[in-house]
Structure 1
Amino acid sequence: MHANTLVHKLWMAFTGLFLCFFLVIHLLGNLQLLLPAERAQLQFNAYSHLLSGNILIKIISYVLYASIILHVVYALIITLQNRAANDKGYAKDNRGQVSKWYSRNMGVLGTIILIFLVIHFRDYWYVYKFGHLPLDSNGDKDLYTLVVSSFQEGWYVCLYVLCMWALGFHLLHGFYSATRTLGVYHPKYVRWLKQFGWLYTGCITLGFTLIPIYVYFVNH
């Protein structure tokens, strides 16, 4: 493997694993939306205010934004390098003939997730930072009402769920790929890594899928 390609894959692995960690924190925060409405509103808005005002959280946020950008950039670089190698007639990896479909379509899944992130940041992050949200009874910006109102739209819920399943398949392959790149995908631990990968992916995917569906039906 070319040295530059290895460096790119290492960066992909590190940024991907950091994003995996962030998803856990993000899901735990969003699970507050499942609380009774009045409590959920105040608690979720207070949580959002804490994230926007804490200097440590801001630093982590900058790391998050950088990780997303780097992950996309290195994914694109690796894809172009692989295509260039194939065009030059290098030996091709035939594992795709027996690999899972989501392993062969990581680019498509990644593109879906990237489009979702643009929409997600526009609808929530941008409005929270630069829009004019009303305040709740505690004086915090009422992000809760914005989120709940968007989840009352059936088409938006369907889009959200579709993107979360794309994320799930992306995570499933990405987790295995990252562990192999970092050299921890040892035969002694393959079984445990696979089980952990499935458990992690299942919890993240089902968790993020449950929230908009629950909010939709509770408010209809």
Structure 2
Amino acid sequence: MSWLIKSSIGRKFVQSISGLFLILFLLFHLSMNLVLLFSYETYDFLANEILGANWWAIVGTAVIAAGFVIHVIWGIILTLQNRRARGKEKYASATKTKTTWSSQNMLVLGLFILLFLIIHLYQFWYQMQFKELFMIDGARHDSAVLVAEVFSNIWVLILYELAFIALWFHLTHGFWSALHSAGVDNGVWMKRIKVLGNVVATIICLGFAIVPIAIYLGYSNLLG
């Protein structure tokens, strides 16, 4: 199994699998976020009772964190490796295939998303699960109210929307690239997969973007 770490093909495979895993997590996270638009009580139940400081939620958090760390580290390694190999022709290919802006800036997009994620984890995960798990005063159990409070700030709203835009660019390239690295290498199907990737990325990012906008514009009455 050492080829997964030592070889270029192995690292790309690990990067692709971790990326696809994170896309599945994003779809799960999105489905929960959308619940907030329909039922505050159900959202609180899911956030506090199902995803609180329970052992299964802690294990799930650890697995997701491991997947994200692997994805970030392997992404940096692959980017640096590609830049060293190509020198000045960083984005040129043997076939002179035109590259997209997102493919040229995956590392920058990924680092911006990482910075956003740190802020996001502090605003929500730290305030709810982490504080409860380590018995720190001030743990929030009114998850829906916390969400409404955070998104009542215009600067937070702008940051989140910018992060969702960056995520869209990252996903539109990452989705088909991950499948390609995992072994899907067919001219006809790759065109279809790229279209599917655009659709999936749009659904995920648009879904995430709707929730903070709706709350900021007054859809939520949690703050009175």
Coarse TM-score class (shorter-chain normalised): 0.7 to 0.9
SS for the counterpart of 2:187 is coil
Amino acid corresponding to residue 172 of structure 1 in structure 2: T
- Cα distance change, pair 103–93 in 1 and its aligned pair in 2 (3 A): closer
Match of 1:138 in 2: none
Contact 1:133 1:142 in 2 (8 A): no
Alignment of 1:19 onto 2:22: yes
Distance 1:33 1:149 in 2: 13
- Cα distance change, pair 92–211 in 1 and its aligned pair in 2 (3 A): closer
Distance 1:52 1:10 in 2: 33
Alignment of 1:33 onto 2:36: yes
- Give runs of aligned pairs for residues 20-99 of structure 1, distance below 5 A: 20-35=23-38, 39-40=39-40, 42-49=41-48, 50-87=50-87, 93-95=91-93, 98-99=98-99
- Cα distance change, pair 182–74 in 1 and its aligned pair in 2 (3 A): same
Match of 2:134 in 1: none
Alignment of 1:132 onto 2:149: no
Match of 1:109 in 2: 109
How many percent of aligned residue pairs carry the same amino acid? Answer: 34
Structure 2 residues without counterparts, runs of 5 or longer: 132-136
Structure 1 residues without counterparts, runs of 5 or longer: 135-140
Distance 1:51 1:93 in 2: 42
Distance 2:215 2:90 in 1: 47
Amino acid corresponding to residue 144 of structure 1 in structure 2: A
SS for the counterpart of 1:189 is helix
Greater per-residue helix proportion: 1
Distance 2:169 2:86 in 1: 25
TM-score scaled to structure 2, two decimals? 0.85
Contact 1:133 1:143 in 2 (8 A): no
SS for the counterpart of 2:36 is helix
| Alpha-carbon offset, residue 86 of structure 1 | 3.4
**C-alpha RMSD of matched pairs (Å):** 2.2
- Give runs of aligned pairs for residues 144-163 of structure 1, distance below 5 A: 144-163=144-163
SS for the counterpart of 2:11 is helix
SS for the counterpart of 2:145 is helix
TM-score scaled to structure 1, two decimals? 0.86
- Cα distance change, pair 113–58 in 1 and its aligned pair in 2 (3 A): same
Deviations 1:6-48 (A, max 9, x none): 111111001000000000000000001212xxx41x2111101
Q: How many pairs were matched up?
A: 207
Match of 2:11 in 1: 8
